[in-house]
Structure 1
Amino acid sequence: MTELAVAAPAFVSMAHEIVWCTVSTVDGRGRPRSRILHPIWEWEDGELVGWVGTTPTPAKRAHLEHSPYVSCNYWSPSHDTALAECRAEWAFDDETRTRVWDLFVNGPEPVGYDPAIIPTWEGPTKPSFAALRLTPWRLRVFPGTVLMGQGGEILTWTEDEA
């Protein structure tokens, strides 16, 4: 098993290069639902945290109330894949939402963008915008070169179970 200090930077690099990922939740009847989202990841002081700016729709809220876990799967045409399985928590406080908004505004290309382009968001402290904090418990980084027999290394990290 790979250490987080090795897997996290490789994950962030691949995720930020791919940008968009499929995020899956589970509804109250145990059925998966997937959507495309745009997380930004921070790797600081040995901690990996992802942030998503999103509309807190009734479906998303109900799914995360039922099960506060998500699967974030990135895929590129070269078959690079990065997976983060995470605990997800809503952040509705103005300070966190403004910080996440600014993370995207000041984020590196191609993951950075101005959230104001989403017409319904109207700003970081409006009810239509929420921040979703992602805390991974499992990561997998799978370069497409491995799949194609051209070398590389698959990195997998899972949080120690207490």
Structure 2
Amino acid sequence: MTDLETAAPAFIAMAHSIVWASIATVDSAGRPRTRILHPYWVWEHGRLTGWVATAPTATKRAHIARNPFVSCNYWSPSHDTCAAECRADLLFEPEIRARVWNLFRDTPEPLGYDPAGIGVPGWEHPLSPGFAVMRLSPWRLRIFPGAALRGGAAEPVLTWQEPRPELTPQGSS
């Protein structure tokens, strides 16, 4: 098991190089539903947090209200993969919405983009009713360089899991 201080920077480097992630929530019948989202990961004060600019759809709200845990998976054509198992929270506080809006707007492409310029209805500014923020708080990370699949000399496969069981879903491993 790797410590978070080693895993977080490796995870961020891979995730930010891939940019887009498949994120799965769980519906009321316990079935997964995936969507493609664009998390921005921040490592500060010994904590890794993912920020997602998102539309707070009725489906997304219902899934997260019922089960706040999501799976976030990245894949590249070179078979680099990384995954974050996270607690997800939809946030509507004006200061958080403005901070995340500006984070994406002020970061160079391909990781950054202008939220107002992508054509999502209701995303004129950070306080628009169609704009919310999803905070991802990982309890498990896995970083798997594609070269490891090919048997080449590669960076190691890294796994980290939250040591505090109260943050880990019941029955997970």
TM-score by length of 2: 0.91
User: Which of 103, 125, 128 is matched with 1:123 structurally?
Assistant: 125
Counterparts of 1:55 and 1:36 in 2: how far apart (Å)? 12
Counterparts of 1:117 and 1:73 in 2: how far apart (Å)? 26
What is the Cα-based RMSD across aligned positions, in Å? Answer: 0.9
* Structure 2 residue aligned with 1:136: 138
**2:94 alignment partner AA:** D
**2:149 alignment partner AA:** L
Relative to 1, partners in 2 of residues 1:126 and 1:113: Cα closer, same or farther, differing over 3 Å? same
- 1:110 offset after TM fit, Å? 2.1
**2:125 alignment partner AA:** G
CA deviations on 1:88-134 (whole Å, 9 max, x unpaired) are: 01110111001000110122442111111232111110110000000
Counterpart mapping for 1:71-82 below 5 A: 71-82=71-82
1:145 aligns with 2:147: yes
Counterparts of 1:95 and 1:38 in 2: how far apart (Å)? 20
**1:15 alignment partner AA:** A
| Identity between Structure 1 and Structure 2 (%) | 60
* Structure 2 residue aligned with 1:158: 161
Counterparts of 2:19 and 2:79 in 1: how far apart (Å)? 14
Task: Give the count of matched residue pairs.
Answer: 162
Q: Secondary structure at 2:79's aligned position in 1? A: coil
Q: Secondary structure at 1:35's aligned position in 2? A: strand
* Structure 1 residue aligned with 2:45: 45
**1:134 alignment partner AA:** L
* Structure 2 residue aligned with 1:14: 14
1:105 aligns with 2:105: yes
**2:88 alignment partner AA:** A
Structure 1 gap ranges (5+): none
Q: Secondary structure at 2:99's aligned position in 1? A: helix
Structure 2 gap ranges (5+): 166-173
* Structure 2 residue aligned with 1:64: 64
TM-score by length of 1: 0.97
- 1:37 offset after TM fit, Å? 0.2
**1:39 alignment partner AA:** P
Counterparts of 2:14 and 2:148 in 1: how far apart (Å)? 14
